């Protein structure tokens, strides 16, 4: 007999503040200033102890403004029409609209973490934070997967990073 899925619910543990209301970069971009921060709900503030000792964190969020039904084959907006399976993509339109962004910690003041640029809309619900740990999280044999097959990989990879360019 097929196993029944387990029912569970996740709780929002904070909110992400960014300058983006309607358009955000496809991936985090390094930015200076204090425009990007994560505010943790006060009941979780003790959980931030020792986090400052890390340079980078994973920010796990719920893409709350997604309204489109997920499709199993998608065309990433930057990939020149290529169609790929949703689980081979970083699209936020997926069965569980959860995103994962790696950013640097600039400073932590009370329950607020100031970070480098995030790729989410202002007010995005925060699900979790985890430290990015050297060696554990760097994979020296990581590759580009299907991105390698794109004709104009170098140019298109500027699009995925949201880096402004002239051509
Ligand atoms: C391509 S996703 C990548 C997110 C994350 N870095 C990842 O790889 O899982 C980034 C895009 O998600 C969309 N987005 C960001 N915050 C969102 C939100 N709260 N609700 C819906 N869409 C959101 C924006 O269009 C942004 O350009």
Banded pLDDT at 36 (limits 50, 70, 90): very high
For residue 166, the model assigns a pLDDT of 58
User: What's the DSSP call for residue 88?
Assistant: G
- The structural domains of the chain, with segments of one domain joined by +, span 14-133+145-159
Specify which residues 109 forms β-bridges with.
Answer: 112
CA distance 39 to 50: 16
Decide if 139 contacts 145 (C-beta within 8 A). Answer: no
- For residue 151, pLDDT over 80 is answered with yes
CA distance 78 to 91: 11
Largest CA distance in the chain: 57
User: What's the DSSP call for residue 62?
Assistant: E
Give the number of other CB atoms < 10 A from CB of residue 161: 16
Ligand 1 atom, smallest distance to 121 CA: 16
For residue 163, the model assigns a pLDDT of 63
For residue 44, the model assigns a pLDDT of 98
Place of tokens 């600039």: 106
- Specify the range with the lowest mean pLDDT, choosing from 3-12, 48-57, 91-100, 128-137: 3-12
Query: What is the SS3 assignment for 60?
Result: strand
Q: What's the predicted TM-score (pTM) here?
A: 0.93
| 127 Cβ contact list (under 8 Å, min separation 6) | 10, 12, 13, 60, 61, 62, 98
- In degrees and rounded to multiples of 5, residue 132 shows phi and psi of -90, 120
Ligand 1 atom, smallest distance to 101 CA: 6
Task: Tell the residue nearest (CA) to atom 14 of ligand 1.
Answer: 120
From the candidate CATH numbers 3.20.20.80, 2.40.30.70, 1.10.3720.10, 2.60.40.1930, the one assigned to the domain spanning 14-133+145-159: 2.40.30.70
- For residue 90, pLDDT over 90 is answered with yes
Give me ligand 1 centre to Cα 159, in Å: 14
CA distance 53 to 39: 18
For residue 4, the model assigns a pLDDT of 87
Distances (CA, A) of 13 to 4, 36, 140: 28, 17, 33
Using CB distances shorter than 6 Å, the residues near ligand 1 are 24-27, 63-66, 90-92, 99-101, 119-121, 124
Distances (CA, A) of 57 to 116, 120, 145: 10, 15, 24
């Amino acid at each position: 007999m097929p196993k029944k899925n387990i029912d569970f619910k996740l709780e929002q543990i904070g909110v992400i503040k960014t300058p983006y209301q309607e358009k955000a970069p496809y991936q985090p971009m390094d930015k200076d200033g204090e425009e990007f921060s994560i505010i943790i709900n006060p009941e979780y503030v003790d959980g931030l102890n020792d986090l400052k000792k890390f340079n980078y964190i994973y920010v796990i969020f719920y893409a709350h403004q997604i309204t489109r039904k997920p499709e199993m084959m998608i065309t990433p907006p930057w990939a020149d029409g290529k169609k790929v399976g949703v689980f081979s993509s970083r699209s936020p339109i997926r069965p569980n609209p959860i995103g994962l962004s790696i950013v640097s910690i600039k400073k932590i003041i009370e329950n607020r973490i100031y970070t480098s640029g995030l790729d989410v809309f202002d007010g995005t619900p925060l699900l979790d934070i985890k430290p990015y740990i050297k060696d554990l999280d760097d994979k020296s044999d990581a590759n580009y997967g299907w991105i390698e097959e794109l004709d104009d990989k170098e140019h298109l990879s500027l699009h995925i990073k949201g880096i402004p360019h002239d051509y």
